[in-house]
Every structure is written in C-alpha cells, then in structure tokens.
C-alpha cells in the first residue's frame, strides 16, 4: 500500500533543524525519564510466580519452562524472566529496565510498520510517540513486571505485520509464532494479517507480495503448533478458566467494554489529531484511496485486537496495548497529511506547541505512575520486614498477618494469594501464610485459615510496614 501522501523525509529548510530534532526526540526522552524513574521499585502479584517458575539451571529446567503454565501458556514471557533472573537475580530494578526497553522496542517496531505502510519518517515516529505516551495501558504494561506480556505481544505483532507488508513470508510467520507464545490475544493475529493481505492485494500492483494461499497455510501451521504445544499443558481454556476470564454475551457488559476501551485506545490520538488540525489547518480533505485502505487495515487490526477480550467480564489496560497500534497509525497518517498541506509558519508553531504540550503533560505522566510504583514499594518493604521478623522461625512455620484494608496499597493488592511465593523468592525457604481478612481467591488457591494453636507468629500491617501483632 502506497500509504497516505507522505511528509518529505527531509524537513523544509526554512524550519530550524534544532527545533525539528528537539520535537522528534522529546517524546521519547520524556517516556524514558518518566518510566525509568518509576520502574523496578519492586514486584507485584504474578511477578513472584513468574520468576520462580522460570528459573533455569540446566537443560531439563529449560524444557520444563517451555511446558509450564500458570493458568496461561506464555513460554516466551517465561523465557524473558529466565534471562532477567540470570542477569539480575531477584533485584527488581533490572526487570523494570527490561520492561522499559521492551516498550521502546515496541515504539521502534510501530515506526517501522508505519514506514512499511507508506507513512513518512516524521509520521512514523509520531505513531510510535502516540503509542508510548498514551495515558492508559502503557503504564501498567511497563510498571507491572508481568505486564510485559502485552509488550511482547505488541512487539511481535507489529514486527509480523511489517514483515508481511514488505513481503517477507518466513519472517512474518516466525513473528506470528512469537506473538502466539506470548499472549492469548494473538490467536486472531493470523486472521488480522489475512485481512491486511486482501486489502494490500487490491492496492499494490508491484513489489514483493505474499500470496493469500501461502499465508493461510503458513499461519495455519503456526496456529497448529501453538495449540498443539498448549494442549500438553493444563493452561485454562474459555470453558475452564475462572468466571472473569470466561466470555460473556451480556449486552450491557459488552457495551461497557466497548466504551471503556474506546477511551483507552483513542482519546490521546484523537486529541492530538484535532489539535494538529487546528494548528496546521485543514487545507484539503484528508481522504483518498490510500487513506481509506489504511482505515480499513486499522479497523481490521482494532476489531481483531479486541476480539479475544471484548467479551470478558474483566477489563484491563493491558488489553488495550495491542489494538491501540491501529489508532496510532491512522492518527499519525492524518497528521502527516495535515503537515504536508500546511505552511512553514504553521509547521513551526505546531512543533513548538507539541514541545509545550509534552512538557505540560510530564507531571501528569509522573503522577500516574504512583499507582503502580507505590504497590511495588510496599511489596518490597513488606518482604524486607517479613524476612527480618520471620528469621527465627523454622521452615514450614505458620504466620498470620492482619492486613490494613483502609488503604488501596495493602497485602491483597500487592501480593494477591502469592505471598508464599514472594517469601520463597526473598528468603529462599517456605513458610505458611494466612492473611486476615481472607484474600479474594484464597479458596481457589487452596488456602485455609490455620487453627489458633497452629500459628507461630502473628503480624499486622501498620503505616505501610509489618510489625508484631498484640492481638491474642
């Protein structure tokens, strides 16, 4: 697909080169500054189980990791935890830096996809910036170590799409396999890319292309390998998963999901496009055959990206990361057309305005990281206190902890039912834990309250720290 009329790769000579370079680099510097300062403060919930289950000391361990599930089957994610554990041990900072690096790689991959679709260099990097600086979705994917599932899916899916658009069949299939083994939403990726092929076949008359029949066979093999490998595990299916992961066709739930996800994927790109139209001016229609083709491809990506999650009772920012790529590409293409038709004076004002906007939004991005960094810091402090207070106990002793549910940051939100795994990771030995009030899901995890005479240590959360409980 030739793509929307592109912004010249070399900016107009009348615009200061320093202004252009600053405007191009600023979004990525802001992203790195915000998230490098907030990432890696500690682990949260599923992180502990991922690390423990992904430890590899020999070839047998590696084979176990590839065949292990934690309710989900995501061996590529497990392998990234394996590598992090080799490099950083159990120090969370390294894991956080890995997530930031994966997010930046997603940005590079989105820009590469935009270029393959015919967008100019400036529009391509705008698409990446819109995705990285989305107010929703990205922060959870970066600041929650386990959120890298969405980052790996987005990276692999956009790399597969880029390879497909450029006519690289083998590479596209390989990236589809990586996506499938990263997150369940990828099961619809082959169908999404099939739709893209059909659109591109009508738009392209020359260049390297992948045949529709060849893609159906190649993508079918990839899907078959995935389902064959998954079937050898006890990973959940839509019928065996907990109720909140089972699809529902309740119209109210689905409509609420649609409204919520529309906000998460479209608010920032739409706002930027409208601001660009005001500053750059709309000198001619934004339509055209190439733009219509891009809109169709974007719609296919958006619908397919939400196809596996829109019917779930539970909503998550992570579910918006992969589909939001489509909205960012379309918004960047429209901004590119506005730029091309504008004057140098308006272009200069738009760059200055963009720098001011990013600067003004930086405190907002910093403030929005607090939700996850505070949870991580609480978990890290709790494990430090627990390791110290429980040190005299023998392995297998029972500890009861009274939680403080008056605040959002508590044992339930920081650990879920994985406090035992967290302690194993921190102290290298097993203790039995019970949290009062009982955590949600404790029964599903097989946890039962101990008898009073079985308790070896009683603790309580007070002021965000653990201390001995005086309750009898």
Compute the CA torsion angle 314, 320, 322, 327 (nearest 10 deg): 150
Task: Find which of 133-137, 317-321, 354-358 is predicted with most confidence, using mean pLDDT.
Answer: 317-321
Other Cβ atoms less than 10 A from the Cβ of 245: the count is: 17
Average pLDDT over residues 208-232: 92
Compute the CA torsion angle 84, 89, 94, 99 (nearest 10 deg): 40
Q: Is the confidence at residue 471, as pLDDT, over 60? A: no
Contact 265, 302 (CB under 8 A): yes
- Give me the residue label for tokens 């009861």: 400
What is the bridge-based pairing of β-strands 432-436 and 457-462?
unpaired
Which of 19-23, 327-331, 389-393 has the weakest average pLDDT?
Answer: 19-23
- Give me the residue label for tokens 């709309």: 282
Which of 166-175, 361-370, 439-448 has the weakest average pLDDT?
Answer: 439-448
Average pLDDT over residues 101-128: 95
Q: Is the confidence at residue 194, as pLDDT, over 90? A: yes
Q: For the residues of 81-123, what is the DSSP string, one character each? A: HHHHHHHHTT-HHHHHHHHHHHHHHHHHHHHHHHHHTT--HHH
Sheet holding 398-402, edge to edge: 432-436, 398-402, 457-462, 465-468
At 240 the pLDDT is 79
Residue 401 dihedral angles phi and psi, to the nearest 5°? -125, 130
Contact 20, 11 (CB under 8 A): yes
Q: For the residues of 115-135, what is the DSSP string, one character each? A: HHTT--HHHHHHHHHHHHT-S
Q: Write down the pTM of the prediction.
A: 0.92
Contact 38, 372 (CB under 8 A): yes
Q: Is the confidence at residue 79, as pLDDT, over 50? A: yes
Identify the three-state secondary structure at position 432: strand
Q: Is the confidence at residue 8, as pLDDT, over 80? A: no
**CA–CA gap between residue 395 and residue 383 (Å, rounded):** 16
At 392 the pLDDT is 92
Q: Which residues pair with 434 in a beta bridge?
A: 400
For CA atoms 444, 417, 69, 241, the dihedral sign is positive
At 204 the pLDDT is 62
Average pLDDT over residues 63-88: 90
Compute the CA torsion angle 96, 100, 105, 106 (nearest 10 deg): 100
Length of the chain: 472
Q: For the residues of 184-219, what is the DSSP string, one character each? A: GGGGGHHHHHHHHHHHHHHH-SSS----HHHHHHHH
Quick one: which H or E segment has residue 160?
helix 148-165
Return the closest-CA partner of residue 39 out of 407, 423, 422, 377: 377
Quick one: which H or E segment has residue 275?
helix 251-280
**Crossing angle of the two packed helices 189-203 and 212-231, in degrees rounded to 10:** 170
pLDDT tens digits for range 387-398:
999 999 999 899
Which of 14-23, 102-111, 210-219, 273-282 has the weakest average pLDDT?
Answer: 14-23
Residue bearing the bigger pLDDT, 120 or 469: 120
Average pLDDT over residues 275-289: 81
**CA–CA gap between residue 149 and residue 184 (Å, rounded):** 10
End-to-end CA distance of the chain: 72
CA angle 4, 274, 196 (to 5 degrees): 35
pLDDT band at 237; cut points 50, 70, 90: confident
pLDDT tens digits for range 350-388:
999 999 988 898 999 999 998 899 999 999 999 999 999
Where residue 118 falls (left for φ over 0; alpha for ψ -120 to 50; beta otherwise) is: left
For residue 437, cis peptide bond before it (omega within 30 degrees of 0): yes
Q: Is the confidence at residue 465, as pLDDT, over 80? A: yes
Q: Is the confidence at residue 84, as pLDDT, over 80? A: yes
**CA–CA gap between residue 302 and residue 324 (Å, rounded):** 7
- Give me the residue label for tokens 């834990």: 433
pLDDT band at 88; cut points 50, 70, 90: very high
Give 361's Cβ-side CA count (13 Å radius).
17
At 7 the pLDDT is 46
Rounded to the nearest integer, the mean pLDDT of the chain is 89
Residue 317 dihedral angles phi and psi, to the nearest 5°? -60, -30
């Amino acid at each position: 697909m030739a793509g929307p009329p592109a912004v010249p790769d070399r900016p107009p000579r009348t615009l200061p080169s320093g202004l252009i370079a600053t405007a191009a680099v600023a979004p990525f510097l802001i992203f790195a500054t915000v998230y490098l300062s907030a990432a890696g403060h500690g682990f949260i919930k599923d992180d502990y189980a991922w690390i423990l289950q992904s430890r590899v000391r020999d070839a047998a361990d590696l084979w176990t990791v590839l065949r292990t599930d934690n309710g989900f089957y995501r061996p590529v994610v497990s392998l990234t935890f394996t590598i992090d554990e080799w490099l950083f041990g159990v120090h969370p900072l390294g894991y956080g830096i890995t997530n930031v690096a994966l997010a930046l790689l997603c940005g590079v991959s989105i820009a590469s996809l935009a270029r393959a679709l015919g967008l100019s260099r400036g529009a391509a990097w705008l698409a990446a910036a819109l995705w990285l600086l989305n107010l929703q979705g990205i922060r959870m994917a970066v600041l929650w170590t386990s959120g890298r599932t969405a980052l790996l899916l987005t990276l692999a899916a956009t790399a597969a799409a880029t390879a497909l658009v450029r006519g690289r069949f083998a590479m596209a299939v390989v990236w589809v396999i990586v996506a499938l083994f990263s997150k369940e939403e990828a099961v619809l990726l082959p169908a999404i890319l099939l739709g893209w092929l059909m659109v591109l076949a009508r738009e392209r008359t020359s260049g390297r292309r992948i045949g529709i029949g060849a893609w159906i066979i190649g993508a079918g093999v990839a899907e078959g390998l995935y389902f064959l490998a998954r079937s050898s595990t006890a990973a959940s299916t839509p019928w065996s998963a907990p109720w909140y992961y089972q699809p529902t066709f309740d119209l109210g739930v689905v409509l609420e999901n649609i409204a919520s996800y529309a906000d998460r994927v479209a608010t920032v790109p739409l706002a930027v496009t409208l601001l660009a139209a005001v500053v750059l001016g709309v000198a001619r229609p934004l339509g055209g055959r190439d733009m219509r083709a891009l809109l169709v491809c974007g719609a296919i990506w958006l619908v397919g990206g939400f196809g596996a999650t829109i019917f779930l009772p539970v909503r998550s920012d992570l579910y918006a990361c992969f589909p939001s790529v489509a909205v960012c590409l379309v918004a960047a293409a429209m901004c590119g057309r506005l730029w091309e038709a504008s004057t140098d004076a308006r272009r200069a004002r738009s760059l200055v305005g963009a720098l001011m906007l990013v600067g003004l939004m930086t405190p907002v991005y910093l403030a929005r990281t607090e939700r996850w960094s505070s949870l991580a810091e609480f978990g890290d402090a709790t494990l430090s206190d627990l390791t110290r207070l429980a040190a005299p106990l023998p392995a297998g002793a029972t500890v009861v902890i009274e939680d403080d549910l008056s605040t959002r940051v508590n044992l339930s939100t920081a650990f879920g039912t994985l406090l035992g795994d967290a302690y194993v990771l921190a102290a290298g030995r097993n203790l039995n834990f019970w949290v009062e009030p009982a955590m949600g899901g404790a029964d599903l995890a097989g946890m039962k309250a101990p008898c009073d005479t079985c308790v070896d240590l009683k603790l309580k959360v007070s002021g965000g720290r653990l201390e001995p409980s005086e309750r009898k």
